[in-house]
Amino acid sequence: MKSIVINGGRKLSGEVSISGSKNAALPIIAASLLCEGEHRIANVPSLVDVKTLAKIMRNMGVSVELTDHEAVIDSTRLASPEAPYDLVRTMRASVLVLGPLVARFGKARVSLPGGCAIGARPVNLHIMGLEKMGAEVSIEHGYIEAKAKRLSGAQIYFDIVTVTGTENLMMAAALADGETVLENAAKEPEVVDLANALIQMGARIEGAGTDIIRIKGVEKLRPMDHRVLPDRIETGTFIIAGAITSGNIVIRNCAPQHLDALLSKVSEAGAQIAVDKDIIRVTGTGGIKPVNVKTLPHPGFPTDMQAQIMSLMCLARGTSVINETIFENRFTHVAELRRMGADIVIEGGSAIVKGVPKLLGAPVMATDLRASASLILAGLAAEGQTVISRIYHLDRGYEDIEGKLSALGADVKRV
């Protein structure tokens, strides 16, 4: 099994370029199921999750070509609107094919995503929304089976803000009969990017980026030519890499406007941040200050950056409290950070992190995607060698992370 070996203690310097957003690319690729013709999607990151979605769609008979950060998709001939368990189980976001399939073909059979390392993560709200739009949905033998002659517009209120739930129903509503209103919708930039792609396809959507999204269904959509926005979580991870190593790095091709909460917390922790259009320069000044963090739906602090900021707080001069409000079991990195000398106590949904003067390299195990990133960050700052195993999680969401870090002067390799 592959591992990442880091010899810590090097200050990072130089430039890094950010890839396209995983969480925007996935729903946008799924949106190509909504109409026939050739779709072109640029700035698609080269990641295992994207390849998994491509496999699921090819398995339906769709043509998906992934070349040099471009996806060319033609779903004119879709043989079976079905996503099987053995492909879906590795990636929860596979459920994003559900909305488009029901909307265009009137039926879908999609495996339930199954357990997930970071909490129960149900899909009840996706199903509730489709039912409100007139679909008949049943769960049989571990599969969601949905049917509808044509979906009809509906008023849908989410009692929990859900990102992929909002995306799934926005896609379904694009071809429904009449107007759909999504209330308490997710406001994440990835939802807005998907809305922009759909609008380019001829969808009539207003309000994406606010908590009320209105979608007037149309009869037919046309293929898109869309460029995926930069990955804000990859950007955030590099921001912390700069801060935690007292480095000086320039992050290019990013979207600083999507990172307000993180930039404000990292500045509060003492790093210097300068923003210029799509560039962020981070200068780590040493002497990290403790900051309290609470994860919230966008524009709050992203849960996908919680593990990484915790690594930074492990080295702060003082105690910080990190409160996770989105997922109930998203502290699996804590036990591993402790192996490196971190002083962290979990109390309910909060981690109390007492900064220590230094972390020491150790063998650790990646437990989920963002937890893996936090261990890499800790390893970069630690004294000695850190060996991270189970790094397949990392390849789901970070394109060539060891290549990008090496180019910044880190001593990182995959063995």
To the nearest whole angstrom, how small is the minimum distance from the Cβ of residue 369 to ligand UD1?
A: 8
To the nearest whole angstrom, how small is the minimum distance from the Cβ of residue 23 to ligand UD1?
A: 3
Which residue, 348 or 357, is less far from ligand UD1 as judged by CB? 348
> Which residue's entry shows tokens 């189980």?
89
Specify whether the CB–CB gap between 35 and 59 falls below 8 A.
Answer: no
Residues 173 and 187: their CA atoms lie apart, in Å, by 17
Instruction: Please select the residue that binds ligand UD1; options are 19, 245, 303, 374, rule is CB under 6 A.
Output: 303
Residue 261, classed as helix, strand or coil, is helix
Instruction: Please select the residue that binds ligand UD1; options are 12, 16, 25, 26, rule is CB under 6 A.
Output: 26
Residues 357 and 14: their CA atoms lie apart, in Å, by 26
Instruction: Please select the residue that binds ligand UD1; options are 231, 234, 304, 395, rule is CB under 6 A.
Output: 304
To the nearest whole angstrom, how small is the minimum distance from the Cβ of residue 247 to ligand UD1?
A: 26
Instruction: Please select the residue that binds ligand UD1; options are 6, 47, 88, 125, rule is CB under 6 A.
Output: 125
Cα four-point dihedral sign 303, 20, 215, 65: negative
x/- string (CB under 6 A) for ligand UD1, residues 316-345? Answer: ----------xx------------------
Q: How far is CA 65 from CA 51, 57, 367, in A?
A: 10, 11, 31
> Which residue's entry shows tokens 């001069």?
317
Determine if 126 is a binding residue for ligand UD1 (CB under 6 A).
yes
To the nearest whole angstrom, how small is the minimum distance from the Cβ of residue 229 to ligand UD1?
A: 13
Backbone φ and ψ for 268, nearest 5 degrees, come out as: -60, -35
Which residue, 135 or 326, is less far from ligand UD1 as judged by CB? 326
Selected range binding ligand UD1 among 37-45, 121-129, 148-156, 332-340, rule: CB under 6 A: 121-129
Determine if 23 is a binding residue for ligand UD1 (CB under 6 A).
yes
Tokens describing residue 126: 């996706």
To the nearest whole angstrom, how small is the minimum distance from the Cβ of residue 59 to ligand UD1?
A: 19
Which residue, 172 or 315, is less far from ligand UD1 as judged by CB? 172
Residues 350 and 252: their CA atoms lie apart, in Å, by 33
Tell me whether residue 116 is one of the annotated catalytic residues: yes
Determine if 162 is a binding residue for ligand UD1 (CB under 6 A).
yes
Residues in the chain: 415
Q: Fill in the DSSP letter of residue 94.
A: G
Helices (H), 180-259: 189-200, 232-244
Instruction: Please select the residue that binds ligand UD1; options are 61, 65, 77, 124, rule is CB under 6 A.
Output: 124
To the nearest whole angstrom, how small is the minimum distance from the Cβ of residue 91 to ligand UD1?
A: 8
Closest to 269 in 3D by CA, of 318, 305, 227, 230: 318
Determine if 165 is a binding residue for ligand UD1 (CB under 6 A).
yes
Burial 119-157 (b: 16+ CB within 10 A, else e): eebebebbbbbbebbbbebeeeeebbbbbbeebbbbebe
Other beta carbons within 10 Å of 76: 12
Determine if 92 is a binding residue for ligand UD1 (CB under 6 A).
yes
Site of interaction with ligand UD1 (CB under 6 A) = 23, 26, 92-93, 119-126, 160, 162-165, 190, 303-304, 326-327
